[in-house]
Copies of this chain bind each other. A is one copy, B any other.
Amino acid sequence: MTERISDAEHAVMEVLWKRAPMTATEVADQVVQQKDWSLQTVKTLLSRLAAKAVVGTERDGRRFLYSPLVERDAYLTGVSRNFVDRLFGGKVMPLVAHLAEADELSADDIREIEGLLRELKK
């Protein structure tokens, strides 16, 4: 199973998923636009991710270039699977139903999803 990625780590991953490889400083520059973290914090998160082999490092002179080793897609699948399992008994229906009842779905959302499902049946 894929290594667990914490919330804070996830923010770092999102940056790396957008562009990679990047140096720690580059990553931090991006992350800081979202989260009010220090450079050190971002470095720590990168190290932990590297230790878990969720990101890979490649030496570039005196510094490292970081790249994701786990694809965003695979990660999302795992997390979604887990989420739906734990909270909705593994069924997507109840989740969609719930979001719908909670008025989290706009008419546009509904149309979009219907279109998607129509595609899927082909």
Q: A residues touching B (Cβ–Cβ < 8 Å)?
A: 7, 10, 73, 76-77, 79-81, 83-84, 86-88, 91-93, 95-100, 102, 104-105, 107, 109-110, 112-114, 116-117, 120-121
A114's closest neighbor in chain B, by CB?
Answer: B117
Give the 9 A-B residue pairs with the shortest CB-CB distance, closest first: A77-B102, A93-B112, A110-B117, A96-B113, A100-B120, A114-B117, A92-B109, A76-B98, A83-B83
Name the contact of A7 in the complex, choosing from B81, B86, B120 (C-beta under 8 A). B86
Q: Are A77's CB and B104's CB within 8 A? A: yes
Q: Provide the bound-state CA to CA distance between A99 and B97, in Å.
A: 15
Question: In the complex, how many angstroms separate the beta carbon of A5 from the nearest chain B beta carbon?
Answer: 11
